[in-house]
């Protein structure tokens, strides 16, 4: 009879990860780390943006008009007066982030806001943070942004800085007081970067012809 043991005392050799498995694992960890950095970047951007915007507020009407010209040439309807502007820069290096202007008609309760992003902000959430912080600061200065429920709308196209610009002219109701209201929104190419346009006013205060004339004046 053979004296060889039925079972080996030495455990079988452990199999290591294949090269493909290591590559996939590495990619997964790398993607997770990048996602973490992206989320952290959004949070940090929003945290510092509050102070950037607050410290950049301008209330001199002449300077606000100058900022407006730095975005676009526009014929603003009578009654809409410059109320507040923002020239937002990064601290220390003073690199421009963006500029914004806000006009209001105290008698007709209309308002106009334009924001230009002067650096490339590819992240949509960060662009929305920038816009929201501008709007929040405008409201803190006592200028209420009208709420709006759309009832009907139509497109309007023009050319600004040799680029096509698309706007939406909408009619609706302010839910806070049931007042019929205009809302005009759009995006266009500003002098230094992409820009947004928001105009809100009571229906009886402005005609559609006045609104179209204002949009077509933008060069």
Highest average pLDDT, of 3-7, 90-94, 183-187, comes from: 183-187
Burial class of residue 148, CB neighbours in 10 A (0-12, 13-18, 19+): middle
Per the CB < 8 A criterion, the answer to whether 141 and 135 are in contact is no
In which band, very low, low, confident or very high, does the pLDDT at 122 lie, cut at 50, 70 and 90?
Answer: low
User: Is the residue at 4 inside a domain?
Assistant: no
Global pTM?
Answer: 0.76
User: Is the residue at 199 inside a domain?
Assistant: yes
Q: What was the pLDDT predicted at 109?
A: 87
Greater pLDDT, 85 or 118: 85
Residue 59: pLDDT over 90: yes
Residue with tokens 């007042």: 179
Residue 58: pLDDT over 80: yes
Element (H, E) at 20: helix 19-54
User: Is the residue at 192 inside a domain?
Assistant: yes
Burial 16-46 (b: 16+ CB within 10 A, else e): eeeeeeeeeeeeeeeeeeeeeeeeeeeeebb
Lookup: tokens for 121: 């902000």
186 lies in which domain range? 47-216
User: Is the residue at 133 inside a domain?
Assistant: yes
47 vs 124: CA distance, rounded Å: 16
Greater pLDDT, 6 or 18: 18
Q: What mean pLDDT is reported for the chain?
A: 81
Q: What was the pLDDT predicted at 15?
A: 55
Residue with tokens 């009619």: 171
Greater pLDDT, 144 or 47: 144
Q: Give the CATH number, domain containing residue 141.
A: 3.40.1000
In which band, very low, low, confident or very high, does the pLDDT at 41 lie, cut at 50, 70 and 90?
Answer: very low
Residue 19: pLDDT over 70: no
In the chain, the number of structural domains is 1
Closest to 161 measured CA to CA, from 198, 197, 125, 191:
191
Q: What was the pLDDT predicted at 90?
A: 73
Residue 24: pLDDT over 90: no
Task: List pLDDT tens digits, range 142-159.
Answer: 887 767 899 999 999 999
Residue with tokens 């100058």: 66
In which band, very low, low, confident or very high, does the pLDDT at 16 lie, cut at 50, 70 and 90?
Answer: low
Residue 11: pLDDT over 60: no
User: Is the residue at 61 inside a domain?
Assistant: yes
């Amino acid at each position: 009879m053979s004296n060889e043991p039925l079972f080996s005392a030495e455990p079988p050799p452990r199999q290591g990860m294949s090269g493909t498995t290591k590559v996939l694992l590495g990619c997964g960890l790398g993607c997770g780390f990048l996602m973490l950095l992206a989320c952290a970047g959004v949070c940090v951007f929003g945290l510092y943006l509050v102070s950037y915007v607050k410290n950049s507020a301008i209330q001199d009407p002449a300077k606000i008009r100058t900022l407006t010209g730095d975005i676009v040439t526009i014929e603003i309807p009578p009654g809409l007066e410059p109320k507040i502007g923002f020239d937002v820069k990064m601290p220390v290096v003073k690199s421009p982030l963006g500029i914004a202007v806000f006009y209001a008609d105290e008698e007709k309760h209309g308002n106009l806001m334009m924001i230009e992003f002067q650096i490339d902000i590819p992240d949509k959430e960060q662009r929305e943070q920038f816009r929201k912080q501008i709007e929040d600061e405008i409201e803190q200065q006592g200028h209420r942004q009208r709420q709006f429920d759309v009832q009907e709308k139509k497109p309007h196209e023009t050319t600004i800085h040799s680029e096509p610009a698309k706007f939406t002219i909408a009619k609706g109701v302010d839910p806070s007081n049931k007042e019929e209201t205009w809302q005009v929104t759009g995006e266009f190419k500003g002098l230094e970067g992409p820009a947004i346009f928001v105009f809100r006013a009571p229906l009886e205060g402005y005609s559609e012809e006045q609104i179209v004339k204002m949009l077509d004046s933008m060069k």
